Amino acid sequence: MLLRNGRIINNGEDFIGDVLLQDGRIEDISNTPISQNDCDVIDCEGCIISPGLIDIHVHFREPSNGCHEENIKAGIASAINGGFTTVCTMPNTTPAIDTPEMVQQTIDNASAIGKCRVLPTACATIGRKGKTIAPVDEMVASGAIAITDDGDVVEDHAMMSAVLKRCAKNNVPFMQHCQDPKTTVGGVMNEGDVQQQLGYGAWPRSAEETIIARDIQLNESIGAKWHAQHLSSGGSVALLRQAQENGQPISGEASPHHLLLTDEACRDLGTMAKMNPPLRQQHDIDTIKEGIADGTIKILATDHAPHPQHTKEKPFKEASFGIVGLDCALALYAKALIDDGVVDWTDMLSMMTCNPATLINRPDLGSLRVGGIADITIIDPNLTWTIDVNTFASTGRNCPFDGWNVKGKAIATIYSGILSHQTLRDRAQRCN
């Protein structure tokens, strides 16, 4: 397969050229035309040729014991529809992914489907209960690329230190769900004027910031890779920045909804705006964007969280937290960051390719190089479209961006040299 005359954006590089694929690998990359007979040719003029997009934070709900409609198959379909060739699944399933056998089962189930690279994370503690440390060494050996009790925080300080030491020993990141449970009892939305007017339970910024500050302190003498999931509070950015300046291997991720929506959406959209952590205020968004612009926050992740419709149709206090995001994330990031002048396409795609690959210790992913894996996303940055949840490949329809007019879309997803998804229209042809 020959990708012709596209804008190649690759780990900070940005130039017009061709990419030749052969047997699942990248055969050649050139800023001059590549001559090749007997191959499929895709005209990429006006489009971006990017390394396959990576999302380090998704929920595919398998296993679920019948609690969810989403599964690995539907999740993969959603991922490739959005241009993602690699995703990292969270272990807060039913039962939780807390044994090497369950890690391996996730890998096997995804491999049987193909089309997208599914890399499992695994629990820090048995059942995500924070009482007994999970077999971290064995789960990493089975293929877990990170450790997390996502959905819950490891509350006990001694337990958290023990987990960080295991992560450091195995050179895998710990991904923290930053929520102090003591301060979020009954909380369902951001503490503030809107919350008081609606009469819902308050979820303060301190719930996030307290855990970040604690973990930074615990990790100071351990030096594990530590990563803050779905940042929502502006105050968290300063904590991460200071820790990085002090030499700690600390990172964080931003999600589309925390870049585009404020707590006012809870008034306007109801349960479709119910998130964990909650939507904050404009000054939080502005501060997170500042953290992206100065490199404090280097990763974008969706926190793709499908729920059955009936769980979102409950009263706000009882409804499920979270939204789906894989199908439309790329355009939403472009709207939040490129249209707003925070970063350009080169920097934004680094946050979705090489930077997450570095965090999860996968140098074979996230970049285009001769001899490397042919995971590629072709993006039309100027394609305007309307988000329609009924076209999502995910089983979830819980998306507050339904009906939004956006720009930028993955028109082809190539996984190990094979087109796994495409809306190419007249761009593909055969060269003999």
Tell me: pLDDT of 156 over 60: yes
Task: Indicate the SS3 state at residue 374.
Answer: coil
Active-site residue identified among 18, 303, 327, 347: 303
Q: How large a percentage of the chain has pLDDT more than 70?
A: 98
The amino acid present at 241, given as its one-letter code, is R
Q: Can you list the domains of the chain with their CATH numbers?
A: 2-49+373-431 (2.30.40.10), 54-359 (3.20.20.140)
Predicted confidence band at 424 (pLDDT cuts at 50, 70, 90)?
confident
Q: Provide the H-helix boundaries in 120-263.
A: 136-142, 157-170, 193-198, 206-219, 234-245, 257-260
**Can you read off the two tokens belonging to residue 429?**
């042809």
- Kindly state the average pLDDT of the residues 134-143: 98
Tell me: pLDDT of 38 over 90: no
**pLDDT at residue 206 in the model:** 98
**pLDDT at residue 199 in the model:** 97
**pLDDT at residue 432 in the model:** 46
Tell me: pLDDT of 429 over 90: no
- Catalytic annotation present for 303: yes
Task: In whole angstroms, give the CA distance from residue 189 to residue 263.
Answer: 7
Integer-rounded Cα Rg, in Å, for the chain is 21
Q: What is the pLDDT of residues 56-94, one digit of tens each?
A: 999 999 998 878 889 999 999 999 999 999 999 999 999
Cα 177–chain centre separation = 14
Task: In whole angstroms, give the CA distance from residue 228 to residue 212.
Answer: 7
Q: Is residue 206 classed exposed, middle or buried when 0-12, 13-18 and 19+ CB atoms within 10 A define those classes?
A: middle
- Kindly state the average pLDDT of the residues 236-252: 98
Q: What is the pLDDT of residues 293-315, one digit of tens each?
A: 999 999 999 999 999 999 999 99
Tell me: pLDDT of 321 over 70: yes
379, 52 Cβ separation under 8 angstroms = no
Least Cα distance to 76 among 399, 393, 400 occurs for 393
Whole-model pTM over 0.95: yes
